[in-house]
């Protein structure tokens, strides 16, 4: 047990250090290696755990909204549709999902109020031209969704409170970095630049594509942290939160969230398909990052948007025992 605790502490220390020193390479590597596996695993986990919270007809309606959103992202990836349509469709999809939660046959009164609030916020963002800020804010909040999923599970299974507390402690780390009273010290920023230059030189010698230095910057809304000089700190915290999201979904949540302990999340055939797709996407990231990132956005958007109605259902509904799909 002591060895496991020591190894976990070393691993977390290395992860935090890398997020502070090399946030962009960590972001790219984590996305390429664990992005698609975490999407596939989380979709299976959500289906097995929450399918019975609403009738199947409701899930078909939600699936139709997600098909609209993912189809739009796919069309943008194929250069069939103007990229400016993406944020509008994303916001519209969230508004429709809020309406679906509001109108869900098994939605409780608090759940209906939460769904109505989501739809209203999306409408407000659209009419007040705050589309980008709202979507980027939701993307940041999405990284912390394992907290809600873990504590919802702990409500039903008190034995899982230890896991929920552990996940909570993990996600306190990026929050602590984000609320540091001062920006990163100059020597740490210099070390970031030095290590980044050394990495770029190594990639150049290996004839590998160099990462776009503005890639990570686009994950936060323009202007956030600029006045105080804390934008690099916020970006490091964001990368760390994303890595912890992957860790929670792939390793921590699946071990405790199954309604039936003998029901695997993925069948052997599905495992093989997931492995093949993930390997192909990793190769795609190495060959053409921009193109592969656009394709990954189709899957990531589908799973992230599916989380919002499920989170509203989970947070506002009464705790129930293992729910199974119903007609």
Q: 3-state secondary structure string, 30-83? A: HHHHHHHHHHHHHHHHHHHHHHHHCCHHHHHHHHHHHHHHHHHHHHHHCCCCCC
Model confidence pLDDT, tens digit, residues 140-181: 899 999 999 999 888 888 888 988 999 999 999 999 988 876
Q: In the chain, which residue ranges form alpha helices assigned H by DSSP?
A: 2-21, 23-50, 56-77, 85-103, 109-127, 131-142, 145-156, 161-178, 186-205, 231-247, 268-287, 289-316
Closest by CA position to 97, among listed 125, 116, 72, 113? 116
Are 97 and 62 spatial neighbours (Cβ–Cβ below 8 Å)?
yes
List, for residues 290-320, the tens digit of each pLDDT value. 888 888 888 888 888 999 999 888 888 765 5
Global pTM reads: 0.86
User: What is the structure's pLDDT at 51?
Assistant: 83
Most confident of 8-22, 49-63, 252-266: 49-63
């Amino acid at each position: 047990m002591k060895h496991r605790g020591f190894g976990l502490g070393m691993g977390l220390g290395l992860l935090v250090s890398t997020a502070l020193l090399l946030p962009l390479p960590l972001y790219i590597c984590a996305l390429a290696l664990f992005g698609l596996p975490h999407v596939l695993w989380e979709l299976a986990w959500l289906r097995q755990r929450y399918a019975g919270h609403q009738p199947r007809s409701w899930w078909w309606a939600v699936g139709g909204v997600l098909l609209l959103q993912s189809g739009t992202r796919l069309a943008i990836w194929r250069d069939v549709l103007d990229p400016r349509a993406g944020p509008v469709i994303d916001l519209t999809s969230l508004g429709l999902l809020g309406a679906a939660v509001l109108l869900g046959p098994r939605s409780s009164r608090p759940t209906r109020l939460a769904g109505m609030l989501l739809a209203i916020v999306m409408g407000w963002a659209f009419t007040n031209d705050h589309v980008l800020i709202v979507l980027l804010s939701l993307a940041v909040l999405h990284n912390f969704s394992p907290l809600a999923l873990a504590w919802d599970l702990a409500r039903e299974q008190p034995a899982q409170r230890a896991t929920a507390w552990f996940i909570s402690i993990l996600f306190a780390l990026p929050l602590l970095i984000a609320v540091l009273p001062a920006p990163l010290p100059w020597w740490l920023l210099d070390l970031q630049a030095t290590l980044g230059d050394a990495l770029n030189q190594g990639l150049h010698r290996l004839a590998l594509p160099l990462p776009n230095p503005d890639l990570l910057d686009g994950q936060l809304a323009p202007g956030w942290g600029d006045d105080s000089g804390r934008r690099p700190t916020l970006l490091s915290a964001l990368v760390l939160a994303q890595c912890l999201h992957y860790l929670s979904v792939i390793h921590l949540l699946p071990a405790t969230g199954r309604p039936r302990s003998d029901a695997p999340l993925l069948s052997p055939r599905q495992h093989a398909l997931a492995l093949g797709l993930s390997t192909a996407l990793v190769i795609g990231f190495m060959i053409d990052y921009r193109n592969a990132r656009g394709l990954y956005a189709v899957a990531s958007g589908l799973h992230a948007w599916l989380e919002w109605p499920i989170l509203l259902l989970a947070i506002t509904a009464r705790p129930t025992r293992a729910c199974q799909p119903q007609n």
